[in-house]
Structure 1
């Protein structure tokens, strides 16, 4: 008889419950990948959109497969928040050029918030218990020390740190968020205080200054953000001058 060379099919690879097959098309995941994708979802749509089902769809796996890497949705949210906090840069401040330091802090914070605008609204979307690690402590201490070293009081420094977050977050959500997503034919709500369409809609209301303002050079969101920084620099300069006057009243 001829030798039977036909071989039996190999046994399927055993896997744990919910774990993707090693011989399947599913990619191997990691917490870093999950954190990044979670941040992208939360940053674009808010934390309410960050569900296990949505996250699994992004990776082309089942929701059950994610539990091999994270305990639950709360851990996913914590990973996204921690990653968002970590992208804020540690700036090397120079007290001899404080205006440049403030400008860099504003621009760097805007860059991080603009990339993931909705991620900064964690307090509105979720009640979170996040352990961000020591990074935020270092970040806060560094900028507080910078403001104090240039001649501001600690109270003023704290107020300016809060102002930076409000200035940037407000700008990103009310200007950048709209500007980055508007269509070309949308009314110009960015640089115009009142678009011409609205002025024309109510001719009974006298608006000579508003109409005259439309003749000013058009500004994009970068131009408008420079105005925010300029106003904040003027406020800091005034604080420093008042502090110097208080210390040397006879000068």
Structure 2
């Protein structure tokens, strides 16, 4: 998370407020450090897990010490989300080799959301006012140029950008978050249309196709992501084929 453009504030903590830190090995309190630690909490546990006391404990200080750098919890949330947005990789897009470009963009973005999956629910759980900065604007410009240079109209390009956001954010919570945290024996609740345990519980259910589907090899979250990626590429190809100048 070092490649971000948040303003740095390396000023030592003012000891007039808050309990002094006793452990010199702890991370110094700065605005950037507060945002980074808050993002770790939010990403792994959700926005409700972020409290000023819990955040301050990570620095070995009281919450009062944080108020030398932030105004309130909302300020911390805003900073954490901005840090996440500005961590979006600034990739090069090649409309000629578009399949490889889409795969790379999806995979790199998935890695970011897999690290901080609960950021995906920010519009639902928090009122956030953030500034994505020029880096994020440039990334969106590159993405829209990529699709329009492929021959898509602006409405089509916007639809593909929105589809990307839904793909990545939903996968982070519905697949990666689950697979990364539950026992392997429970993975079929995500990878199967119906878990084997449910069929065993209701043997009288007439579901021959569901039973047939369970004879196929199981899939982990990497398999599921590649399946999602392939479906998206097929969609883009079908859209290209439908363009007036398609060959």
Give the TM-score normalised by structure 2. Answer: 0.88
Larger-Rg structure: 1
Unpaired runs of 5+ residues, structure 2, are 1-13
The question of 1:18 aligning with 2:18 is answered yes
Native 8 Å contact 1:19 1:68 kept in 2: no
Shifted more, 80-89 versus 70-79: the winner is 70-79
Alignment of 1:51-200 (within 5 A): 51-186=51-186, 188-200=188-200
Cα deviation 1:203-235 (Å, max 9, x = unaligned): 121111111111112111111111111111111
**In the alignment, what sits opposite 1:7?**
none
Q: TM-score, normalised by structure 1?
A: 0.87
Tell me, yes or no, if the aligned pair for 1:191 and 1:218 is still in contact at 8 Å: yes
Higher mean C-alpha deviation, range 183-192 or range 157-166: 183-192
The answer to whether the 8 Å contact 1:144/1:157 transfers is yes
Are 1:247 and 2:241 counterparts? Answer: no
Are the aligned partners of 1:36 and 1:83 in contact in 2 as well (CA < 8 Å)? yes
User: Which stretch shows the higher mean deviation, 96-105 or 177-186?
Assistant: 177-186
Preserved contact between residue 86 and residue 135 of structure 2 (Cα < 8 Å):
yes
Q: Please, what is the CA RMSD of the aligned residues?
A: 1.8
Taking the aligned partners of 2:150 and 2:108, their CA distance within structure 1 comes to: 20
Does the CA contact (< 8 Å) of 1:99 and 1:233 recur in 2? yes
Shift of 1:156: 0.7
Distance 1:242 1:81 in 2: 38
CA distance, structure 2, for counterparts of residue 184 and residue 139 of structure 1 = 37
Q: 1:190 is paired with a residue of what secondary structure? A: helix
After superposition, give the CA deviation of every residue in 1:144-190 in whole Å (9 maximum; x if it has no partner).
10001111111111000000000111111111111111113325213
User: Partners in 1 of 2:128 and 2:139 — Cα distance?
Assistant: 20
